[in-house]
Structure 1
Amino acid sequence: MSASPSPSAPSLLPFPAVVARLRTAGCVFAEDEARLILAAARTPAGLRAMVDRRVAGLPLEHVLGWAEFCGLRIAVDPGVFVPRRRTEFLVRQAASLAPARAGAVVVDLCCGSGALGAALGAALERVELHAADIDPAAVRCARRNVGAAGGRVYEGDLYEPLPAALRGRVDVLLANVPYVPTEQVELLPPEARVHEARVALDGGADGLDVLRRVTAAAGAWLAPGGCLLFETSERQSASAVEIVARGGLMPRVAEGEELEATVVIGTRPSAESPAVRAFGD
């Protein structure tokens, strides 16, 4: 997040006092966070409440009500998954693969706040944007972000709520699937483990359960030459590639060293190739 340059206001708590409270609570970037909170607060009572929530461990983005993502201010409500900066690499990959024509069809599955779809919609010219999530709180939040980009958001499990007319037409399918193995969820930082919906974190026994379900049906929704993109860990990438290939898509891995991001891309062949059929047998 970029810091606002207004560190104090006469009627509010002084900047040093806010910094001190945040630092005592373990906030590594206390000065930057203090500037953002002070810029957002409208009253002394509101400021104290925001600082109290942050000190209690609420993610800064939930305290502010927004997260910076791909240069956009994305609304993020309490309990909703906070978009990670590393996921900007996924959006950049998707933008580079999207059709050059206007009106490309983009779907953001497991959309959370809708940050990925909104960011890709902002990067492309006149997209047809759709998003879906199973979490009602996430859907309410995504409707503000995706709606501002001219898109529509649906509530339901993966592809189930999407309009049937999208089948075979999707040019870019973003799926920010949860990929943390169940037994490792409890090892996550409290900001995620306590304050974000478990459905947005828990990927099943090996972290790849939701991915399997996404890839199993992706080919039916993608247009010929369309791409599925999702983030995973470096450790899981080999298994993820195999899953994508068995789903009939041509897989490859993109690595973003600066953001420590691993993205797997699966492309629906324009015509099914013998190599893809053999992998799926």
Structure 2
Amino acid sequence: MALLDQDPQTPVQIYTSIWTNNQLLFIFVLSGSRGYVGWCGGIECIQQMDNHAFDNVIVSLLKTSGALPHLQSLYGYSPLVDRVHHLVEKCKDSSDNATIPTKVSTYKSWSYQVESKNDLLWTDKTRALAKRAHLRLATWIDFPLLVNWSEHFVQDCGLNDGDMWTMCANEIKKQKAYFWCLDDGTPTAMVWKRRALRHGISVAYVYTPEESRQRGYAATMVAQFSEYLLETEGYSYVTLLVDGNRDPAKNMYTSIGYKYVGEIFALYY
């Protein structure tokens, strides 16, 4: 367990991790008001974890770090995020701090991954579309369109990602927002890079305006962008999240080769 910042004027930032035989099994990070729950080594490792020892580590962290009153959401893979949430509720029940809010809503999504361009599935239609299309970085000239499409994206998904003007400005500065353009270069769809790591990266904010849907554009764009990230930028894997209301086994992303790897929950307090 470690305290990264104990200054009362700044958001609480803490982390803890659990290892066995030099293998990282679990990590919990609370930055500002959001907790991130993650695991590695495969679900079988988590199933073998000593629940009593795990509970003691998390409860000790929440009670001694001063993080509990600041925690507004938890985000991560099930079943661990469910377990941490249970422990958060347990700690709140035994706390004298009456200002700690209760759970108000949840958001579920499916997590997918592709590890090689050879795993991507192409059809004659998507190949033909890809030959007509190209991806380009969003620029400041595109800023009004980027904000507009991003706002529609979060509305469609039922998300709340905060100030979209600031977020889109940051995405342009960091060169992470892309437009997919057909023929004359007019933007037809949108996709963003997210959560870049040493070996992997995520695809996010996949959006096609209503007048351009049901034409295979989004599937072609994601396949094309994934191939670019794996082959040109050299990532070992690409991940993405899909709304939990969709069929986890049959959707646009599985149709182009992405494989289901787990459930992710966002719990809001």
TM-score (norm 1): 0.26
Q: Which has the higher helix share?
A: 1
Higher strand share: 2
Identify which of structures 1 and 2 has the higher relative contact order when contacts are C-alpha pairs closer than 8 Å and 6+ apart. Answer: 2
